[in-house]
Amino acid sequence: MPEKLLQSLHSASARSPKRQTGRREHSFQIAQNLWVSFQYAGAGLKYAFVTQRNFRIHAVIGSIAVSAGVLLRLLPVELALIGLTIGLVLTLELLNTAIEAVVDLVVDTQYHELAKIAKDCAAGAVLVSTLASLGVASCLLLPPLWKVASLALLGH
């Protein structure tokens, strides 16, 4: 099956006019060098940030969490844990976006139960990582926040 798909894509592109130079002719081609790979990765990040509301929300909340950790003078290992969990959430958001795009490409506008399962499971993975990230951030940020708040309330 995949061989037939690749053959049909190749034969269709041979009949169609050449695309603009500098763009990938086929999405399955390997990047010419490391810099081009980074450009493709950057394009994916940009796409997610521009088009995915939840990616933006997670990025902003993650930035706030790291900033709070720096202001509260958390230990470097604590900041690293917060950063890792934020990275996990953003990574899963990117994978969720990719899975949704591939599923939409394959099923087009038709409903398919397996497509629903794939999309729901990908979204569930983001939810699980988000809850874990909230747990980590709460454990690391709330105690020093309470300390600062109590000192402020007591006037010290």
Q: Tell whether the model's pLDDT for residue 1 goes beyond 50.
A: no
pLDDT at site 103: 96
Is 3 marked active-site?
no
pLDDT at site 24: 54
Mean pLDDT score, 54-80: 97
Catalytic-labelled residue, pool 78, 93, 100, 113? 93
**What pTM value is reported for the model?**
0.77
pLDDT in tens, 75-88: 999 999 999 999 99
Which position has the higher pLDDT, 98 or 150? 98
Taken in order 48, 42, 122, 57, is the CA torsion positive or negative? negative
Q: Tell whether the model's pLDDT for residue 59 goes beyond 90.
A: yes
Q: Tell whether the model's pLDDT for residue 18 goes beyond 50.
A: no
pLDDT in tens, 112-143: 999 999 999 999 999 999 999 999 999 999 99
Q: Measure the CA–CA gap between 73 and 22, rounded to whole angstroms.
A: 46
pLDDT in tens, 99-108: 999 999 999 8
- Give the range among 13-27, 34-48, 63-77, 117-131 with minimum mean pLDDT: 13-27
Nearest-CA neighbor of 57 among 124, 133, 136?
133
Q: Tell whether the model's pLDDT for residue 20 goes beyond 60.
A: no
- State the number of CA atoms in the 13 A half-sphere of 94 facing the CB: 15
Q: pLDDT class for 152, splitting at 50, 70, 90?
A: confident
Nearest-CA neighbor of 101 among 28, 58, 53, 47?
47
Q: Selecting from 3.20.20.140, 3.10.20.30, 3.50.50.60, 1.10.287.3610, what CATH number does the domain 34-154 have? A: 1.10.287.3610
Percent of the chain predicted with pLDDT > 70: 81
